[in-house]
């Protein structure tokens, strides 16, 4: 069974758990308590030199970086559960395009907003509201392009769901939950709102969104 070393509230741990659910891959979660700094202990960094969760141990094969793990598991079981990465070269290229869009045009703005508004307060720190406003402004024009793309096709890489769509869920859900001014970024754009409702209601996500 895949051993998942992670922290249940961690967004990156949840991405891997989500992929396991979508692909019907049994996994055992081995908790690494970030609140206690366990990811910075020598026994952990001997495996993951950056001191970050999650990593997996798949029958002796150790792999870290959540998006790399998600791809590895999706490709290892192509015909089990939901197909998440297309095998046709051009469809795969459009999946890669969508994955990069998620990383550089979504996550690059949404993750630091979630860091300021969720993770900092958990540690008793004040969010930098000026930075949040700046990031939110930059995100708006990116989401206009999302709305355009999602007006022409059902999902970000075409008409089938892929890992690129699902990769938006952990940070996107935390962002959406920040309140009306944040949820409106999705809700005010009809195609984006339709897509978000679709992916955020997938049974696999509902099963892990409150903890991997």
List of residues contacting its own copies (CB under 8 A): 45, 49-51, 61, 63-69, 71-72, 75-76, 89-90, 92-94, 96-97, 99-101, 103-105, 108, 142, 145, 148-149
Q: Are strands 2-6 and 55-58 parallel, antiparallel or unpaired?
A: antiparallel
**Residue closer to its own copies, measured from CB, 58 or 198:** 58
Kindly tell me which of 188 and 206 has the beta carbon lying closer to its own copies: 188
User: Of the two residues 105 and 160, which places its CB atom closer to its own copies in the complex?
Assistant: 105
Report the distance separating Cα 109 and Cα 93, nearest Å. Answer: 24
Bridge-based pairing of strands 27-31 and 2-6 is parallel
| Nearest distance, CB of residue 209 and its own copies, angstroms | 22
- Report d(CA 3, CA 138) in Å as an integer: 38
Which CB, 69 or 178, lies closer to its own copies? 69
In angstroms, what is the minimal distance from the CB of 72 to its own copies? 4
What's the closest the beta carbon of residue 31 comes to its own copies, in angstroms?
Answer: 22
> What is the nearest approach in angstroms of its own copies to the Cβ of residue 198?
20
3-class SS string, the chain: CEEEEECCCCHHHHHHHHHHHHCCCCEEEEECCHHHCHHHCHHHHCCCCCCCCCEEEECCEEEECHHHHHHHHHHHCCCCCCCCCCCCHHHHHHHHHHHHHHHHHHHHHHHHHHHHHHHHHHCCCCCCHHHHHHHHHHHHHHHHHHHHHHHHCCECCECCCCHHHHCCHHHHHHHHCCCHHHHHHHHCCHHHHHHHHHHHCCHHHHHHCCCC
Nearer to its own copies by Cβ, of 50 and 124: the residue is 50
CB nearer to its own copies: pick between 63 and 208: 63
- Shortest Å, Cβ 149 to its own copies: 6
Q: How far is the CB of 57 from its own copies (least distance, A)?
A: 13
């Amino acid at each position: 069974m895949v051993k998942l070393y992670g922290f249940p509230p961690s967004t990156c741990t949840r991405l891997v758990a989500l992929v396991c659910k979508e692909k019907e891959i049994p996994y055992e979660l081995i908790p690494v308590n970030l609140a206690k700094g366990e990811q910075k202990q020598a026994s952990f960094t001997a495996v993951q030199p950056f001191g970050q969760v999650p990593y997996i141990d798949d029958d002796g094969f150790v792999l870290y970086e959540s998006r790399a793990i998600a791809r590895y598991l999706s490709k290892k079981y192509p015909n089990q559960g939901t197909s998440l990465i297309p095998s046709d070269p051009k469809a795969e290229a459009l999946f890669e395009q969508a994955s990069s869009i998620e990383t550089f045009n979504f996550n690059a703005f949404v993750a630091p907003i979630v860091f300021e508004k969720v993770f900092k307060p958990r540690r008793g720190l004040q969010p930098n509201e000026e930075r949040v406003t700046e990031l939110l402004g930059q995100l708006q024009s990116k989401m206009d392009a999302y709305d355009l793309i999602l007006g022409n096709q059902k999902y970000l890489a075409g008409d089938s769901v892929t890992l690129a769509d699902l990769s938006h869920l952990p940070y996107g859900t935390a962002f959406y939950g920040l309140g009306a001014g944040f949820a409106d970024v999705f809700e005010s754009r009809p195609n984006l709102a339709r897509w978000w409702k679709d992916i955020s209601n997938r049974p696999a996500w509902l099963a892990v969104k409150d903890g991997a």
